[in-house]
Structure 1
Amino acid sequence: MKTQAKDTRSHILEVGRSLTARQGYVGVGLNELLKAACVPKGSFYHYFESKEAYGCALLEDFVEQYQETLASTLGNPERPARSRILAYFEGWLAKQTGPVLQDRCLVVKLSAEVADLSPDMSRILQNGVNSIISRLAKTLEQGTADGSIAPLENPNDLAQSIYYQWLGASLVAGLSHDDAPLQAAMKTTRKAIPAP
């Protein structure tokens, strides 16, 4: 029974993520979500006490899945650290410009929308961002240790700066429907993380 409950909850979150990637959080009405997920309203409220609680669960699920995917790039012990960081951002570029909207970053899609809407949702996104920046900074430090990155003055500041640049580039690319801002971010990132 617990497996079925987890599957239903996960299914609602998966369908919701797909809808939210296309329409934003506010743009997805509860009835639309329930219809797309083929779930009755009572079942929804069994798992989530409100739409905001559902939104928090959606973001927590996204952050958790995102952390797991970092294992294949930033956490890959088979590659030097500089190569891992560049692979992470190359993957970001590919997903943000790819045809599958669900693969795109919800931080980019929802950060402005939820900032004024829900302190809890904002906190979840901010914690996710802080965690990614911390992981990037750690990988930069590993790069100076493994010799793939030239010595850096402040890896945490650099990680923060690069990550924020990519968030901004993603927003502008979304507005312009052009990958030029992301290509520029990639070029700047390569220069900012110098090989020895």
Structure 2
Amino acid sequence: MTTTDSNQTRQRIFGAAQSIIARKGFSAVGLNEVLNAAGVPKGSFYHYFASKDAFGTALLEHYFETYFADMDRIFQDPATSAHDALMRYWQLWISNQTCQVECGKCLAVKLGAEVADLSEPMRLALRRGTAQIVERLEAAISRGVEEGTVTIVATPAQLALRLYALWLGASVMTKITRTPDSFEEALQQTQHLLGNQ
């Protein structure tokens, strides 16, 4: 098997796994279910990953790479102000978390509480990934301050962390209540914290 074939197979496994794990969580999903969905022979899993833990870590790293690319497209659009880009990001967050079909829900939200106490490598992958999300939010906020489209009281770093924590909490509450109320509140708070235009 060539390196290209191996990478393509890993991508198929990641694609199948993300969809299943976004619904069921990590612990509830068996490797056979993922491999069947990916069309990969059951006995070949350990050719691609050393363990389920290593697979989970690689899945999170793959997920975050795609997530960062999506964030960069939003925040680096020269035709959009930083304020509008930030608000677009949060609107897309709501759409992603409230869709009723398979739509690649956020694995940081889904797995954060579940695996942080079970797998140190996966916890560290989540920590690295979420830190880079906060860094991108900070950069967008800083750009908004420079443009004059964002008015803040805290530092960009403090506000980025506060907003990310707000939206993680809203996502969990939305799962619990099954209403959009927490997202509506988070959106209002975000508009207030960024300064109304």
TM beyond 0.5: yes
Structure 1 partner of 2:7: 6
Structure 2 partner of 1:190: 191
Structure 2 partner of 1:149: 150
Looking at structure 2, the residues matched to 28 and 34 of structure 1 have their Cα atoms a distance apart, in angstroms, of: 11
Structure 1 partner of 2:97: 96
Q: Which amino acid aligns with 1:130?
A: A
Residues 145, 101 of structure 1: alpha-carbon distance in 2 compared, 3 angstrom cutoff: same
Q: Which amino acid aligns with 1:97?
A: T
Structure 2 partner of 1:16: 17
In structure 1, the gaps of 5 or more residues are none
Matched pairs, number: 196
Structure 2 partner of 1:122: 123
Per the alignment, in what secondary structure is the counterpart of residue 75 of structure 2?
Answer: coil
Measured against aligned partners, the alpha-carbon deviations of 1:9-31 in whole angstroms (never above 9, x if no partner) come to 11011101111011000010112
Looking at structure 2, the residues matched to 5 and 12 of structure 1 have their Cα atoms a distance apart, in angstroms, of: 11
Per the alignment, in what secondary structure is the counterpart of residue 179 of structure 2?
Answer: coil
Q: Which amino acid aligns with 2:62?
A: D
Structure 2 partner of 1:69: 70
Per the alignment, in what secondary structure is the counterpart of residue 103 of structure 1?
Answer: coil
Structure 2 partner of 1:82: 83
Per the alignment, in what secondary structure is the counterpart of residue 178 of structure 1?
Answer: coil
**What is the TM-score of this pair, normalised by structure 2?**
0.95
Report which stretch shifted further, 92-101 or 160-169.
92-101
Q: Is the 8 A contact 2:18 2:104 kept in 1?
A: no
1:138 aligns with 2:116: no
Looking at structure 1, the residues matched to 64 and 99 of structure 2 have their Cα atoms a distance apart, in angstroms, of: 20
Structure 1 partner of 2:172: 171
Measure how far apart 1:41 and its partner are: 2.6
Q: Is the 8 A contact 1:19 1:28 kept in 2?
A: yes
Per the alignment, in what secondary structure is the counterpart of residue 150 of structure 1?
Answer: coil
Structure 1 partner of 2:37: 36
Structure 1 partner of 2:28: 27
Looking at structure 2, the residues matched to 9 and 43 of structure 1 have their Cα atoms a distance apart, in angstroms, of: 11
Q: Which amino acid aligns with 1:129?
A: T
Measure how far apart 1:6 and its partner are: 1.1
Measured against aligned partners, the alpha-carbon deviations of 1:93-124 in whole angstroms (never above 9, x if no partner) come to 11111123442111100001111111110011
Looking at structure 2, the residues matched to 100 and 58 of structure 1 have their Cα atoms a distance apart, in angstroms, of: 21
Q: Which amino acid aligns with 1:61?
A: H
Looking at structure 2, the residues matched to 162 and 73 of structure 1 have their Cα atoms a distance apart, in angstroms, of: 17
**What is the TM-score of this pair, normalised by structure 1?**
0.95
Residues 151, 108 of structure 1: alpha-carbon distance in 2 compared, 3 angstrom cutoff: closer
Q: Identity over aligned residues, as a percent?
A: 38
Report which stretch shifted further, 151-160 or 44-53.
151-160
Q: Which amino acid aligns with 2:120?
A: P
Q: Which amino acid aligns with 1:177?
A: R
1:107 aligns with 2:108: yes
Looking at structure 2, the residues matched to 61 and 102 of structure 1 have their Cα atoms a distance apart, in angstroms, of: 16
Measured against aligned partners, the alpha-carbon deviations of 1:63-103 in whole angstroms (never above 9, x if no partner) come to 10000001221222221111111110011011111123442
